Amino acid sequence: MNLLPDLRIVLDELTERFGARIEHAHAPQPNELYLHTKLELVGALCSAFYKKYQGRLAGVFAEDARAERDVFFVYYLYALDAAHGFVFVRVPVPSDNPELPSLTNAIHAVNWQEREIQDLFGIKLLGHPNPRRCVLHDDWPEVYPLRKDFDLHTKLPPFTGARHRFREVEGEGVFQVPVGPVHAGIIEPGHFLFSVAGEPVLYLQLRMFYVHKGIEKLFESLPIPHCVRLAESISGDSSFAHATAFCHAIERVAEVEAPPRARALRTLCLELERLYNHVADIGAICTDVAFVTAHMHAMRLKEAVLRVNELLTGNRLLRGMPCLGGVRFDFEDDQMRAAAKLVDDFEKEFKDLVELIRSHSGTRDRLETTGVLKPEVTRNLGIVGIAGRASGFDHDLRRDFPHAFYDQVRFSVPIFTEGDVQRRMVVRREELFQSLGIIRQVLEKLPAGPIQTKIEEVPSDRVALGYVEGWRGEIFHWIHTAPGNRLARCKVKDPSLQNWPALSEAILGNIIPDFPVVNKSFNLSYSGTDR
Amino acid sequence: MFEVIGKSLKTGVVTTSYPLTPAEVSRHTRGKPEIDWANWKDARPAARVCPTGAIEFTDEERKRIATLDLGKCIFCGLCADADPAIHMSNQCELATRERAGLKLSAKYQLTSDGMHERLLENPAAGSAGGQSLEAVGQQLQARIRSMLGRSLHIRQVDAGSCNGCEVEIVALNSPIYDIERFGIHFVASPRHADMLLVTGPVTLNMELALRKTYEAMPAPRLVVAVGACGCSGGIFGLNYATVGGVDSVVPVDVYIPGCPPNPHALLHGILLAVNRWRGT
């Protein structure tokens, strides 16, 4: 078994401690270790990874293996950032009366993910503090869409079930303020229920999954090449990152690597995606504290990036560019020059914008100490990406798990500990300058050669994790292949899924008028969460 | 304060004059797929690689009806890679008032091995991709002039979108596209709105909210379906969690194809819708 040295140590120590109770270990890739064990070991292993190896429980998901093995499998994905490796713990759950002990009380990060398993597979959670429906809203009938005997095209009867009941917050002068799912701005749908006493927020309840559209089930019905296009539509502003994470997973299963030029172009596109989203967010944060002029300049810069995206890849959101084994389009000289010019123009204009925002003391007054996410809660909530880095969590897959071309370029990862809206904006600002540097380096070092490795048919019954640091944070696509170039399972993990609860933390004690800017400073994906 | 004004003066006017000038898209832009119907040898390879079923065919007694549905197309260009009779044009203004107007069908006599022997029926000329650009341009200019003194209020609803369409709709409020120059304004409440701009696919969890938002609007009201998913359900189609395109829930006045439609395409569709409204 070819395994990273640090993961080898972990494996040896665990084997020594648990002996034959770890029934099987295999590593399809040096940084991807699978441990097959039993349900009773879930707690002990979780504690070992979380405490001893400083791992993060980055994901929990299930798969229906009743046809082959008469069980459901539940996978726990631990990211060991320091060891640069991923460990999956796989446990069987019996198919008759399926039950799963909940880890949410110990690690809040898996709250929604565990409930998702309950909703989509009908595996009952034991000891979960709030085991109510989440993905399928309360009025849905008793169906388990990700079970293999549930047909994708099932037409459900009109819903007659009870509507959702929010938790009641009582007290003298306490009011409830419901918002959504249709919001006042041009944004995605979700429901927020604020409980307020006067202006300050006492409690915020989030109700998501309004745009659940069966994506993971859909992955199981499409031929693998079509799945790339589906992956582009998981979260529109992260089209390239999601599709690339998916392609990465397929490449790992097929044991091929995208050629160096393709990896460089992937990095280029990932950074362009980061560029347009970060600058748009910085502008939107300014608008939410009434500095609209800055927003207008930011939108101008965003448009410049989108137009270069279109010139490079034929689509403003970089769609159509990703493909299995590399990228679809190479760039001609004029396109290269346009990219280089964008970086120069953008840098100059963006410096102006930064100065403009800095000169506006009112903006800083509104953003500092607003919506604080304390560093001490980030690890337990599993907060990743921009929000994590603004609250002291020093991680970035581009550095810790280099993918695409990131091992060939120099960049730094900005970390702050204050955790307020200001710092989430500053993280974006600093990352933006790093992105410009990365794009310059890619353009300078761009290797010659092909842009695609052909992948004909993907071998069946293999598993792999594809990962990409998108602009919001880490994106995972875990796949299990089936015969006939299809997938038995594709688990999609957008960073938003576990970052949403951070919003409920960060808003506490803030006033409702600050909610839009706090929400915007996280700018989480609804569609990526709801899938 | 002076910095803010100074920066604005230095920047100058950045707003496009579209639609008085053509859409500013690059030559690499993937817009409407153009099929050389007369020389199309075989619809099967393109249909096989199409991820959304936008290119489909039905065979019956050595005859084939092959269809290109722009309402399902995500403009990935995989058909053009697979078939030399197809190329991707950069035409992006494709909105129509009728869903059927987005479908182009041709009929072929087949050879024994399923290839196209000859073209029996051409697709109706100019049916898909809206009216011919020129005609729309002239109509638009007349309408825009008459509309400038008016105001149109739009409420946007995401009924299941991936957020891609929203990225582009937001751009309409940017200084580049500046939709307010037409007296068009995005509003916070359906009660203030004349038009509902809806992205899809409509999910089961959003169906009720969409219906209620529509019902909250005062008549006369317009609905514009945005994007492949809004027009047809797109790559998600119909499944246990979705009910398909916007018109499966509320009546639609204009369909804007695209994945996502760019701001030019959105402006084109919105202005097209207003034109009709004035006519009734």
pLDDT value of residue B7: 85
Query: Does B8 contact A360 at a Cβ distance shorter than 8 Å?
Result: no
Q: What is the model's pLDDT at position B279?
A: 28
Q: Across the interface, which of B88, B167, B239 has its CB nearest the CB of A217?
A: B239
Report the CATH number that the domain containing residue A282 is assigned in CATH. Answer: 1.10.645.10
Q: Is residue A132 part of a domain?
A: no
Per-residue CA distances from A165 to A48, A138, A139, A179, A193 (Å): 37, 9, 11, 15, 11
Which DSSP string do the residues of A147-159 spell out, in sequence order? STTS-TT--PPPP
Residue A98 lies in a domain: yes
Are residues A328 and A419 both part of a single domain? yes
User: Contact B271/B143 with Cβ under 8 angstroms?
Assistant: yes
Predicted-complex ipTM score: 0.92
pLDDT at B19: 85
Question: Is A312 in the same domain as A381?
Answer: yes
Q: Beta strands of B1-150 (E only): which ranges?
A: 33-35, 55-60, 63-69, 86-88, 103-110, 116-121
pLDDT at A21 over 50: yes
CB–CB of A185 and B188 under 8 A?
yes
- Tokens matching residue A415: 């970390």
Residue A148 forms part of a structural domain: no
Residue-range definition of the domain harbouring residue A21:
5-126
Q: What are the beta bridge partners of residue A59?
A: A77
* Burial annotation A169-183 (CB, 10 A radius, 16+ → b, else e): beeeeeeeeeebbbb
Domain ends where: A190, A207, A224? A207
CB contact under 8 A, B235 and A186: no
pTM: 0.94
Which of chain A's residues have a Cβ under 8 Å away from the Cβ of B239? 152-153, 213-214, 217-218
Are A188 and B169 in contact (CB < 8 Å)? Answer: no
Of A469 and A379, the structure prediction assigns the larger pLDDT to: A469
Contacts of B240 in chain A (CB under 8 A): 143, 145, 150-156, 214, 217
What pLDDT is attached to residue B274? Answer: 82
Task: Give the whole-number percent of chain A exceeding pLDDT 70.
Answer: 100
CB contact under 8 A, A233 and B238: no
What is the number of CB-based contacts under 8 A between chain A and chain B? 187
Tell me which residue in A189, A218, A310 faces B25 most closely, judged by beta carbons: A310
Count of domains for chain A: 3
Contacts of A222 in chain B (CB under 8 A): 51
Domain end (from A126, A157, A186) = A126
Encode pLDDT of B178-234 as tens digits. Answer: 999 888 999 999 999 989 999 989 999 999 999 999 999 988 888 999 999 999 999
Q: Look up residue A261 and give its two tokens.
A: 């030029």
Together in a domain, A221 and A241: yes
- CB spacing of A293 vs B262 below 8 angstroms: no
Pairwise CA distance, residues A169 & A276, whole Å: 40
The CA angle B131-B136-B140, to the nearest 5 degrees, is: 150
Q: Do A111 and A190 lie in a common domain?
A: no
Strand runs (DSSP E) across A106-207, as ranges? Answer: 124-126, 174-179, 191-197, 201-207
- Minimal CA separation from A69 to chain B, in Å: 26
- The domains located in chain B, with CATH, are 133-279 (3.40.50.12280)
Query: Average pLDDT of B234-263?
Result: 94
What pLDDT is attached to residue A185? 86
Are A256 and A201 part of one and the same domain?
Answer: no
- Tell me, yes or no, whether A425 and A393 share the same domain: yes
Query: If phi over 0 gives left and psi between -120 and 50 gives alpha, with beta otherwise, what is residue A477?
Result: beta
What digits encode the pLDDT tens for the residues A192-228? Answer: 999 999 889 999 999 999 999 999 999 999 999 999 9
Which pair of tokens denotes residue B239?
Answer: 């499944």
The enclosing domain of A60 has a CATH number of 3.30.460.80
pLDDT of residue A360: 87
In B, minimum Cα distance to A531 occurs at B162
Nearest CA in chain B to A309: B29
Q: Which of B5, B74, B155, B158 is most worth mutating to test chain A (most A CB atoms within 10 A of its CB)? A: B158
A427-441: pLDDT as tens digits: 999 999 999 999 999
Closest CB from B188, B229, B236 relative to A218: B236
Give the tokens for residue A331: 């760039």
Pick the more confident residue, B234 or B135: B234
- Interchain pair A210, B28: CB under 8 A: no
Distance from CA of A456 to the nearest CA of B (A): 14
> Do A319 and A403 have their domain in common?
yes
